[in-house]
Amino acid sequence: MTEIRIIVCAKQIPDPEAPLSDVSVDAEKMEVIVDAPQVISPFDENALEVAVRLKEEAGGKISVLSLGKKVSDTVLRKTLAAGADELILLEDDNFENLDSHSTAAALAGAIRKIGDYDLVLTGRQAGDWDSGQVGLILGEMLALPCISLARDISIEDGNVLVKKNIPEGYERVKAQMPALITVSNEVGELRYISRTKMLKMMRGARSIPSWSAEDLGVTPEALQQMGITALSSPPDMGRDCELLEGSPDEQAEKLAEVFKTLR
Amino acid sequence: MTPHRVMFWQIGNVWIFYVLAGLATGLFLAGVVAYVSVWKKSSRSLEIPFSKEALKRMILDTFLGRRVLQGDVAAGLMHLLIFWGFLSLFIGTSLLAIHHYIFTFLEGTAHLIFSFGLEVGGLMLLAGVIWALIRRYLQRVPRLERRLEDAVVPLWLLLAALSGFILEGLRLAVERSPWGGWSFVGWCLSGFFSPAGAEGLYPYLWWGHALLCLGFIAVIPYTKLFHILGAPAGIYLQGASKPIVLGMEEGAGEFDLGDAIFFDGCMRCGRCVEACPSVGAGEPFAPRDFVQALRQALWQEHFPLGDIRFMSPKEESKVDENFWYCTTCRACLEICPVYGAAFEVVTKKRVLAVEEGTMVPKLLNQTLEKLFKYNNPWESSKRKRGAWADGLELIDLTKRGAEADLCYFVGCTTSFDDTAQMIARSFSKVLQTAGVNFGILGKKEPCCGDIARRVGELGLFEEQRKGSEELFDKYGITEVATSSPHCFHTFKNEYPEAPFRARHYTQVLRELMAEGKLRFKKGVEATVTYHDPCYLGRHNRIFDEPREIIRAIPGINLIEMTHYQADSLCCGGGGGRMWQDLQGEVKMSEVRIREAEATGAEILITACPLCLIMLEDARKAAGLKEPFRVMDLNELVLQAL
């Protein structure tokens, strides 16, 4: 089996598992404030896990790209601890709040700069805005065969075989490499990265390259910021709990009464 | 003529015997060398620390069979019979050799006593071996396995002992010496033989007996008989070297000499299988099978020929992947005759699995991530940590100028879980009533590290330990009371440089009672039973304090369940199991709640947030209704004040 070169796009986001009480909305500034640690978007972690497994099987090299105005290498070094060979941060002041098309354009620039690759993997969608667009636009820009919602990925004779989620189950799809695949959570969680491993990776004197918009050949004019037109706090979800007493039959009757009043 | 024994009576070509004896010794030694080479390769160090205590314990346990007797008198007596029978015959034979080759002393009265002693020894061995066979094959004691070697070994001993007696009978039938009656078994048997027939038969049987006995010595290292050496060595090492904290340094998950010898000293007696709550709930984990699988893996890895113990099945290696089921409840160590701590070996395997990363179960993977991000396993906001105390007006020790005599360390589960918060509220009220000046750490309270430590995430544990120590140091905290036996255990035993004293709340309450600060003015008319949390009872031997508090409440009638104190059953929440989705045929907590219900008690009392949650859930699942309740000890105490 020939070695494969994989590029994984990983987005840094505030922990989507943060408790709701740690999320607030500033309607004036049009800002969602999440008081939670930064993490790698979960679907991107799924993509990384597949990449590592494919590399373990066939050998090869994994490059991870992460784009933003400021990207924390303490968060993203996790990808190196997990088995990626290279981490490249795409950092530029102009990369703040990019819309999906602009993000894809910047990523496409980075991927062209890397040049040599067999697979580009992204998460099916980001854990913060859930748009699910960047991967597909990126595939279009790079003129790659593109398969979305992968639940299983394997390589055979220069082709990639993908089980792709559809509402009724899954389809088997085959594409010639290089190809772009957006990965769904069914492939499995990213392996656990122990704190010992993480700390070793942090202490490592390894320098992490950082490319700007200019390095990628993207002009600021071509980048479009995402705008929010309206933002409001979620409605107060105060709970009003009433316990229905009595035998199961009586309880059912009372419950039916409640439902009737709600109609 | 003085009474004496004729050596090599009727036996020609004695040199063959010496060759065979040399061969047997050679095989025996070769086996022992194989063991030592495996130990050497599998352990980080072969250093054997000297400990007088451990030596004393090894000698007493070995010769009195204390650990085999404990909890199973029948098995203990059987073992003592075999042990002393075998030992006296072994000593007897050695004495005879000294008498024959070095200096003559077995003459006259000494010979008579010697003969008599050997008869008793032989009878003990016979009785013990027959009893063992009955237990395993007729009585079919459930914890015993029936592998090939389990039959071969006792039958071998049986044949050796029987042939010895018959041989003696044959000799006495010919000799008819006036002192023959001292060898009373042989003497009785001699009546069955004609002198001429006996004399002809004797050499054949003698060679058979010699082969059996020499062969027996030769097979010791190749069968479970190796426990003759392995068990005492294991007992010594388990007592002599006990690392308190698994270090973070390289090789934290590797086995040490004590582990390797424990695996080889394991007789598969199955006491741990009987005691293990995971087995009781029909889960695919059993300490014995786990240990045997590890043993085999170790031999496979470190000895060129693999497991040299013949007659042991080779397909065991899969078993050791189920170590996530272990709740680290310590029940296996409690009854293991060689003090084998299978649950600690489990932790070592978990350390390796966590380092490797791909074998960590999904839910646990997520829990560990949360534990790191939010310093608690419950995914709740750090901000809500002190929310349970709203309205109680407690001192927050992290506020400027705040001081108190006691820091109440609430713990993650008690802080966040709705059911367990009851513990914090009632304990605080009890302390307030008793006039104790105490405070809490509020939002800044960290995780003690118990979960990380138990599931093998030592790096995270170290970080949490350092963080907690710094925090306690910063706020000058020297006295800590915990809700959870888990936090208590971790602080007490796994914080080697703790700048504070940690106690469990039951100890604090007991002390307040002794000082007269806790007076039960009201009674509680109820029959109750008490569930010992593993990390309070078995791990830290706090059995009496909670019971003394319960008994001091007027009107209370405390009754015990079938399993209590060191023999208590685990609720299933420890060892990281609370945050995993593993199940057997039944839940451990359900087994326990049924046992509690069977006592007829109205209230099941416990003293641990995990036990409280597990048992309360089990009560609901089992459909046990009022007046049967599950309650934390604080709640009961508060009612009685």
Per CATH, the number for B232-362 is 1.10.1060
How far is the C-alpha of B110 from the C-alpha of B182, rounded, in Å?
Answer: 11
How far is the C-alpha of A106 from the C-alpha of B511, rounded, in Å?
Answer: 68
Nearest to B290 by CA among B273, B303, B307: B273
- Decide if B354 and A192 are in contact by the 8 Å CB cutoff: yes
Q: What are phi and psi of B478, to 5 degrees?
A: -120, -20
- CB contacts of B355 in chain A (<8 Å) are 194, 196-197
Nearest to A49 by CA among A15, A72, A83: A83
Measured N-to-C along each axis, helices B505-514 and B544-552 cross at an angle, to the nearest 10 degrees, of 50
Residue A18 scores a pLDDT above 90:
no
- CB contacts of B248 in chain A (<8 Å) are 196
Q: Among residues of chain A, what percentage have pLDDT more than 90? A: 67
- Decide if B355 and A196 are in contact by the 8 Å CB cutoff: yes
How far is the C-alpha of B69 from the C-alpha of B76, rounded, in Å?
Answer: 4
How far is the C-alpha of B329 from the C-alpha of B333, rounded, in Å?
Answer: 9
Nearest to B134 by CA among B90, B82, B85: B82
Place of tokens 């947030």: B609
Using DSSP, state whether B303 is helix, strand or coil. coil
Nearest to B344 by CA among B242, B488, B465, B265: B242
pLDDT tens for B557-570 read: 999 999 999 999 99
In chain B, what are the helix, strand and coil shares in percent, each to the nearest 5?
Answer: 60, 5, 35
State the DSSP H helix or E strand holding residue A7, giving kind and residue range, or none if neither. strand A4-9
- Which 26-85 residues of chain B touch chain A by CB within 8 A? none
- Which 108-137 residues of chain A touch chain B by CB within 8 A? none
For A75, the closest chain B residue by CA position comes to B373
- Decide if B355 and A22 are in contact by the 8 Å CB cutoff: no
* DSSP per residue, B355-369: HH-TTS-HHHHHHHH
Mean pLDDT of A15-35: 84
Residue type present at position B303: F
State the DSSP H helix or E strand holding residue B481, giving kind and residue range, or none if neither. strand B479-482
Query: What is the per-residue pLDDT for B313?
Result: 65
User: Testing the interface with A: which of B354, B579, B580, B581 to mutate, by most A Cβ within 10 A?
Assistant: B354
State the DSSP H helix or E strand holding residue A175, giving kind and residue range, or none if neither. strand A169-176
Query: What is the per-residue pLDDT for A17?
Result: 86
The residue ranges of chain B whose pLDDT is under 70 are 1, 241-251, 311-320
Cα within 13 Å of Cα(B391), Cβ side: 4
A250 touches chain B (CB under 8 A): no
Q: How far is A213 from chain B (nearest CA, A)?
A: 32
**ipTM field:** 0.88
- Which 188-227 residues of chain A touch chain B by CB within 8 A? 188-189, 191-199
Architecture, CATH, for domain B513-640? 3-Layer(aba) Sandwich (3.40)
B373 touches chain A (CB under 8 A): yes
Structure tokens given for B598: 């069977």
- Decide if A19 and B384 are in contact by the 8 Å CB cutoff: yes
8 A C-beta contact, residue B530 and residue B603: no
How far is the C-alpha of B77 from the C-alpha of B199, rounded, in Å?
Answer: 38
- CB contacts of B384 in chain A (<8 Å) are 19, 21
Mean pLDDT of A230-253: 83
Average pLDDT, chain A: 91
User: Testing the interface with B: which of A194, A198, A241 to mutate, by most B Cβ within 10 A?
Assistant: A194
A56 touches chain B (CB under 8 A): no
Query: What is the per-residue pLDDT for B1?
Result: 61
Give the nearest partner residue to B248 out of A18, A192, A196, using CB atoms.
A196
Query: What is the per-residue pLDDT for B491?
Result: 96
Q: What are the extents of the domains in chain B?
A: 14-229, 232-362, 375-508, 513-640
- CB contacts of B364 in chain A (<8 Å) are 192
The angle at the Cα of A159, spanning A153 to A161, to the nearest 5 degrees, equals 30
- CB contacts of A54 in chain B (<8 Å) are none
Domains of chain A with bracketed CATH: 4-222 (3.40.50.620)
Comparing B14-229 with B375-508, is the CATH topology the same?
no
pLDDT tens for A174-207 read: 999 999 999 999 999 999 999 999 988 888 767 8
Nearest to B269 by CA among B202, B206, B224: B224
How far is the C-alpha of B131 from the C-alpha of B139, rounded, in Å?
Answer: 10
How far is the C-alpha of B469 from the C-alpha of B245, rounded, in Å?
Answer: 15
Whole-angstrom CA distances from B239 to A216, B340, B492 are 65, 10, 20
- CB contacts of A189 in chain B (<8 Å) are 362, 365-366
Mean pLDDT of A99-118: 95
* DSSP per residue, B71-131: T-HHHHHHHHHHHHHHHHHHHHHHHHHHHHHT-----THHHHHHHHHHHHHHHHHHHHHHH
Q: How far is A194 from chain B (nearest CA, A)?
A: 6
Q: How far is A36 from chain B (nearest CA, A)?
A: 8
Fold for B14-229, please state it.
Answer: Fumarate Reductase Cytochrome B subunit (1.20.950)
Nearest to B409 by CA among B466, B467, B464, B485: B485
- Decide if B365 and A196 are in contact by the 8 Å CB cutoff: no
Q: How far is A255 from chain B (nearest CA, A)?
A: 22
Long-range contacts of A96-100 (CB under 8 A, 24+ apart): A96/A68, A96/A69, A96/A225, A97/A69, A97/A225, A97/A226, A98/A67, A98/A223, A98/A224, A98/A225, A98/A226, A99/A224, A99/A225, A99/A226, A100/A131, A100/A133, A100/A134, A100/A137
How far is the C-alpha of A184 from the C-alpha of B633, rounded, in Å?
Answer: 48
For A50, the closest chain B residue by CA position comes to B358
- Considering just the CA atoms, what is the radius of gyration of chain B in Å? 30
Fold for B375-508, please state it.
Answer: Rossmann fold (3.40.50)
Buried b (16+ CB within 10 A) or exposed e, B478-495: eebbbbbbbbbbbbbebb
B210: CB partners within 8 A, 6+ apart: B17, B20
**Count of other CB atoms within 10 angstroms of residue B18:** 10
